[in-house]
A and B are shown apart, each in its own frame.
Chain A
């Protein structure tokens, strides 16, 4: 069993796609590197921290993008973002689904303007692809989680798959602590970080659709299931999403701690949730959790 959390972007693609089916676009040999990092005397990476291309999943063609969370925290820069934007545009031309293997802290601060624009462009392309009826599936389980603009893009996806190790939010723990102090949020309290942003909590409150164990084969199986889920996006879907978010806010808005939410969901021993293995967790959680469809 390969750990998704420990794997590199390229190893994750190998674990996800059919053997030898991956074909990279704008590979490292083209040296399409960041035009900004050298100004800061920072190291560059030949693929700018994202691997994009096409592959087959159970024989069917898909487009794939995998972020490398160990290079600059998987952050979005100009080239990194443009590769994903281009991939989503190709998806609309080809009519193929897209899988995004998130592993990112958000926008790369050294090229913040270009990175922020890339996030907006990518969100637009995800929405357009979904309006065409194409699945855009996010997989979250890397060491940098999925934060900042990555969290916004994830919120636009048709299906999200997460592992316990995966974390999903917009403002990350360290940013909250820097701005509001450790009394508000102690980013070194790992149990707290995972209770608030981690895969189990995100699954229970209906922020993601599928919860899987930390392995390449589990993510592959979930991706196959995700490909057959509804992906369309129109005014009716948005209205339903708004309604569901209002209901969720009314139900949990007054609660300040994840365990109180798990208790309100009717889970018998909320304090035991973080220690449960994936199977035991799903046995309890899958029937009690909030519905996830089109509500992040």
Chain B
């Protein structure tokens, strides 16, 4: 496993009231995304454990795009990756944020 950690600054804090959200499954070409609250509203941290080594720059690009498009401030995101493609990663992150934005 390769472990990666990213920190982002953002001025858009996450909406909704759910304490956490989980989406996806750790399987070949798939990943699970666990989203929790608890960081200051201007920060987003993302930790990744991935079976596919050497893709740090791709993760950086996909995650920076995610943080710029979605309201991810205050979220601590943990990912277990089974070798998902960038489009699947982007989809799961979007689904996860959508889920935690729900009111209950």
Residues of A within 8 A of B (CB): 8, 10, 20, 27-29, 38, 41-47, 68, 70-71
Determine the chain B residues whose CB is within 8 A of the CB of A68 once the complex forms: 25
Given contacts A28-B22, A38-B1, 19 further A-B contacts (CB under 8 A): A27-B20, A29-B34, A29-B36, A43-B1, A43-B49, A43-B50, A43-B80, A43-B81, A43-B82, A45-B26, A45-B32, A45-B80, A46-B80, A47-B22, A68-B25, A70-B27, A70-B30, A71-B26, A71-B27
Interface pair A10/B22, CB less than 8 Å apart:
yes
13 A/B residue pairs, CB under 8 Å, sorted by A = A8-B25, A28-B32, A29-B34, A38-B1, A41-B51, A43-B49, A44-B49, A45-B25, A45-B32, A46-B32, A46-B34, A46-B80, A47-B22
Interface residue from A27, A29, A43 paired with B26 (Cβ < 8 Å): A43
Q: How far is the CA of A294 from the CA of B56 in the complex (A)?
A: 55
Interface pair B25/A46, CB less than 8 Å apart:
no
Chain B, interface size category, equals 10 to 19
Q: How far is the CA of A7 from the CA of B32 in the complex (A)?
A: 15
Q: How far is the CA of A47 from the CA of B32 in the complex (A)?
A: 10
Determine the chain A residues whose CB is within 8 A of the CB of B32 once the complex forms: 28, 45-46
A78 shortest CB reach to chain B, Å: 17
Interface pair A46/B78, CB less than 8 Å apart:
yes
Q: A44 with B80: in contact, given A29-B36, A70-B30 (CB under 8 Å)?
A: yes
The list of the 5 closest CB pairs from A to B, nearest first, reads: A70-B27, A45-B26, A70-B25, A43-B26, A28-B22
Determine the chain A residues whose CB is within 8 A of the CB of B25 once the complex forms: 8, 45, 68, 70-71
Determine the chain B residues whose CB is within 8 A of the CB of A28 once the complex forms: 20, 22, 32, 34
Closest to A10 in B: B22
Which of B1, B26, B78, B81 has the most C-beta atoms of chain A within 10 angstroms of its own C-beta? B26
Interface pair A20/B27, CB less than 8 Å apart:
no
Closest to B83 in A: A43
